Structure 1
Amino acid sequence: MNKLGGQVIDTSPMYGSSERVVGDLTHNQDFEDNFFYATKVWTSGKEAGINQMETSFKLMRREKMDLMQIHNLVDYKTHVKTLRDWKEIGKIKYWGITHYTDSSHAELEKVIQSEKPDFVQFNYSILSRNAEKSLFEVIRKNETAVLINRPFESGNLFRSVKGKPLPEWAKDYDINSWGHYFLKFILSNELVTCVIPGTSKPHHMIDNMMAGYGKMPDTKTREIMYNYIKNL
C-alpha cells in the first residue's frame, strides 16, 4: 500500500478487530510513521466518548492520532469540545465528522458551517451525486478536507457493469478496470482529498491504488463517464 503512495488508514471501533490489527501490523515497524491514522468515536456522553477514543489509541498503539472523527454525527456537540481540546494539546492533529447517506448531507453542511471541522467524510460515487447539489460548495467555502466513503455503492456499481467492456476511450485516461473508472471519476473532483474503498482482497487494493496514477478526466469527460454508465 505505502509503496504505491497510499497513506490513509481509516478505521473505527465498530469495525470488528480492525483497530487492534492496525496496531499489531504497524507498531515498531520501519514504516509505522509513514501512515495517516484515522479512527472514529461512536457513542453518547463525554466520558463514554473519551473512554472509547482512549481505547482506540491503545489498540492502535498510537500516542497521537492524525484524525479523530465523530461517526454519523452521534452526540457531536459533546465530542466537538473534547476534540478541540485534544487538538489544542496535540493529542490529535485533526478532527472531523462523518456520515454515509444522502439524507445526512444537509446536516453535514450545517455542522461544517457552525463547527468548522478539519475533515468531513461522506458518500459519493459516479451514480450517487447528491453531494454536488450543495455539500461540495459548502466544503469549498470552508476549505474542509474530504474523505469519500461508499465509492462503489457497496459493490452495486460492479454488479451493474458485470460482463460489460470498458469504453474504448477509457484508455486515454489510463483507466484499465471498472475500479479505475469509478475511482477516477471521484478523484478528479478537485475538492476530494482521499477516497476510502474497503476491500479484504490484496489484488483489489492494488487495483484501487493504481487509480491514483495516470491522466485524470476533466469536467467534460466526467460527464461523459457518467452518461456512459447511466445508459448501460
Structure 2
Amino acid sequence: MDDQRHHDARTPRGSTDSGLSRREVLAAGLGSALLLGAGPAQSPSQGSASGPASDEKPAMITRPIPRTGEQLPVIGLGTWQTFNVGTDAKERAPLKDVLKRFLERGGRVIDSSPMYDRAELVVGDLLTEQGQQRAPFLASKVWTMGKTEGEQQMRTSIQRMGRGRMDLMQVHNLVDVKTHLATLREWQEAGRIRYVGVTHYQPSSFDTLEKLVRQEAIDFVQLPYSIVQREVENRLLPACAERGVAVLVMSPFEQGGLFEKVRGKPLPPWAADFDCSSWAQYFLKFILGHPAVTCPIPATSNPKHLEDNLKAGFGRLPDEKTRAKMVKHLGL
C-alpha cells in the first residue's frame, strides 16, 4: 500500500506541518538563494520553458506526455493525508491557498485516489469555489476488485474530484489490473477519460510495472523515486522512456526522511549552478534531472512548502554528472 507515500514530506511524522525541523532545514538552504529563471534555457532533454519578455515572469519548465505531446508543468501536487479534511472552512483554508497558489504559479497536475478518504471531494470542492480559472490536470485512481465495482468507484471519483471530468485514471497499486485496464481503455475510447495509467509503490512490483509498460498500451506510470531510492533507474525508467510512457513520481522526499538527513546542514555552494536555493529543490531537481521523469507530485498542506516545491520547476536542472555529485555529497 502507498498510504504513507504522499505525506507532506518536509515534516517528519509526529511533527506539525510548520514544525521546527522544517524551519531549520529551510534556513540552512536559503543562504544560497538565487533569483530563479536567470539561468540558460533548458536543453531539449530537460524540457522547455518559454522565454519570457522582459516584463513577464518566467514560466515553469514543462515536459511532454509522450503519447500526445501535451505539455505538463514539471511540479505537481499530491493529496494523500494533506487533503483528507472535513468541511470546516478554517481547516480547509490553507488547502484552498495551496491550490490557488499552485495554479497561479503554473502548476497543473493534481493527483488523488479514493483510497485517500475525503481528499478527492476536498479537491473538487475547493477547485469549484475558486472557479478553476486555470484548468488543472486531474488524476485519480481505481482501487477495488471487479469491473462493476471499479466503474462505480471511478464514476464517484470523477464526480467528486473533477465535477464530471478526469484527465488521467490509474490502476492503484495494480489492484485487479487486467480488469481495470480493459475498462479504462473503453472509457478512453469513449472520451470519458483522457489517459490511462498504473501505479505501485513497492520495488517488488517494479518487474510487473515494467512488463505492463512494455506489453500494454499505458500512457502513465506512477512510481517512487528519490535521491536515495534509485532502483527505478536500472530498468523501469529506461523502459518508460523507450516505450513513450509518462512518469509521475510519488514520495520524492521519502516521507520526510530526506530532510532528517540534511537537518542543520547548508546547501553545497555549487547547488547555485542549477538554480537551487533549498534542500527541497535539491531533491526535486535531482529527480527532474532524469529525462524520463515527467512530474514529481509532492503533497503539502503548507503554502510556504508549496512555494518552495514549485521553485524546483524553474531555472536550470542538473546534468548526469552533477546528479552523481549530488548523490555523493549526501554520502549515498
TM-score by length of 1: 0.96
Q: CA deviation at 1:152?
A: 0.6
Q: Secondary structure at the match of 1:151?
A: coil
CA contact (8 A) 1:127 1:230 kept: no
State the partner residue of 1:210.
Answer: 311
- What RMSD over aligned residues (CA atoms) do the two structures have, in Å? 1.2
| 1:40 aligned residue | 141
Higher relative contact order (CA 8 A, sep 6+): 2
Q: Which amino acid aligns with 2:276?
A: I
**Aligned equivalents of 2:301 and 2:230: distance in 1?**
26
2:288 is aligned to: 187
- Specify the SS of the correspondent of 2:204: helix
Which of 176, 179, 185 in structure 1 is aligned with 2:277? Answer: 176
Distance 2:221 2:130 in 1: 30
Q: Are residues 1:148 and 2:239 paired?
A: no
> In 2 relative to 1, CA 61–131 (structure 1 residues): closer, same or farther, beyond 3 Å?
closer
Whichever residue aligns with residue 59 of structure 1, its letter is R
Q: Which deviates further from its counterpart, 38-47 or 99-108?
A: 99-108
Kindly indicate whether the alpha-carbon contact (under 8 Å) linking 1:46 and 1:79 is maintained by their aligned counterparts in 2: yes
CA-CA distance at 1:116 after TM superposition: 2.2
Q: What's the offset of the Cα at 1:61?
A: 4.2
Instruction: Supply the distance in 1 between the matched residues of 2:189 and 2:249 (Cα, whole angstroms).
Output: 26
Please name the residue that 2:198 is paired with.
97
Q: Which amino acid aligns with 1:26?
A: L
User: Structure 2 counterpart of 1:132, which letter?
Assistant: E
Q: Is the 8 A contact 2:219 2:245 kept in 1?
A: yes
Aligned to 1:67: 168
| Letter matched to residue 328 of structure 2 | N
Q: 1:15 aligns with which of 116, 137, 140?
A: 116
Secondary structure, in 3 states, of the residue corresponding to 1:198?
A: coil
Aligned equivalents of 2:201, 2:323: Cα separation in 1: 22
Paired amino acid for 1:67: L
Q: Give the aligned partner of residue 123 of structure 1.
A: 224
Could you tell which deviates more after superposition, 193-202 or 74-83? 193-202
Q: Secondary structure at the match of 1:55?
A: helix
C-alpha contact 2:171 2:197 (8 A) present in aligned 1: yes
Question: Could you list the runs of 5+ residues in structure 2 that have no partner in the other structure?
Answer: 1-101
SS at match of 2:173: helix
Structure 1 residues 42, 92: CA separation in 2 closer, same or farther (over 3 Å shift)?
same
Of the structure 1 ranges 69-78 and 11-20, higher mean CA displacement relative to structure 2 is found in 11-20
Query: 2:237 aligned with 1:136, yes or no?
Result: yes
Which structure shows the bigger proportion of residues in helix conformation?
Answer: 1
Cα-to-partner distance string for 1:53-103 (whole Å, 9 max, x where unaligned):
111112124322100000000000000111000000100000100011222
Q: Residue 50 of structure 1: SS of its match in structure 2?
A: helix
- Matched length: 231
Deviations 1:136-166 (A, max 9, x none): 1111111000100011111111111111111
8 Å CA contact 2:198, 2:221 repeated in 1: yes
SS of the equivalent of 2:196 reads strand
Structure 1 residues 61 and 96, CA gap change in structure 2 (3 angstroms): closer
215, 231, 240: which is aligned to 1:114? 215
In structure 1, the residue matched to 2:9 is none
Please, what TM-score do these two structures have when normalized by structure 2?
Answer: 0.68
Helix, strand or coil at the partner of 2:329? helix
**Aligned counterpart for 1:25 among listed residues 122, 126, 133:** 126
| Counterpart check, 1:56 vs 2:157 | yes
